[in-house]
Amino acid sequence: MRCPFCRHNDSRVVDSREADEGQAIRRRRSCSSCGKRFTTVEEPVLAVVKRSGVTEPFSREKVVRGVARACQGRPVDPDALAQLAHRVEETIRAAGTAEVPSQEVGMAILGPLRELDEVAYLRFASVYRNFSCVADFEAEIADLRAAARDGDVGGRVDTAGETPVGAADARDVPAARAGD
């Protein structure tokens, strides 16, 4: 680990302790050249694999930005977006793999977004599922109507971390990936 003060590339660990309830390890280091001390944090990375094959760390902020775009002009407050991003992260982590395709992140967003705002959901879904014609929208809207009729809108209490996404949308996955 390179020293942030003199850029010497050797340092000695003088202290290690758990942080964030064991999610991370914080190390106190001492530069072996200038002797100054600095801290590093080590945590497991949840990587998102983009279509191009490039990986990047999962970011709740990025989820919020993406969803906020779909929510423009809609009555959705920032707290709800933050909560949605948290749920998405839980879903992704529950999948138990270290590398998640970006498409799956999009799919994990759809369920909670549908509960939050149907118009934003349609906008988002049209991008993530590659809607290519009006019929795609019609089918999705028919689904929303059917769900509303069945009273299938109050599932937000105990479905967090599970997959309302998987249950309702599994059949649509192949279509969404056809463009790959």
Single-letter code of the amino acid located at 53: G
CB of 9 to Zn ion, least distance (A): 9
Dihedral of the CA atoms 45, 49, 55, 58 (nearest 10)? -40
CB of 73 to Zn ion, least distance (A): 51
Check residue 137 for interaction with Zn ion (CB under 5 A). no
Residue of 2, 5, 50, 137 interacting with Zn ion (CB under 5 A): 5
Closer CB to Zn ion, 37 or 86, in the complex: 37
Closer CB to Zn ion, 11 or 91, in the complex: 11
CB of 67 to Zn ion, least distance (A): 42
Instruction: With H, G, I as helix, E, B as strand and everything else as coil, classify residue 29.
Output: strand
Contact 169, 107 (CB under 8 A): yes
Closer CB to Zn ion, 37 or 93, in the complex: 37
Residue of 1, 2, 6, 15 interacting with Zn ion (CB under 5 A): 6
Site string for Zn ion, 17-46 (x = CB under 5 A): --------------x-xx------------
**Concatenated DSSP letters for 121-173?**
HHHHHHHHTT--SHHHHHHHHHHHHHHHHTTTT-TTTT-TTS-HHHHHHGGGH
Strand partners, 12: 30
Q: Residue with structure tokens 């749920």?
A: 87
Check residue 153 for interaction with Zn ion (CB under 5 A). no
- Contact window for Zn ion (CB under 5 A) among 4-12, 68-76, 92-100, 147-155: 4-12
Contact 105, 48 (CB under 8 A): yes
CB of 2 to Zn ion, least distance (A): 9
CB of 101 to Zn ion, least distance (A): 40
**Cβ atoms < 10 Å from Cβ of 106:** 20
Q: Which residues bind Zn ion (CB under 5 A)?
A: 3, 5-6, 8, 31, 33-34
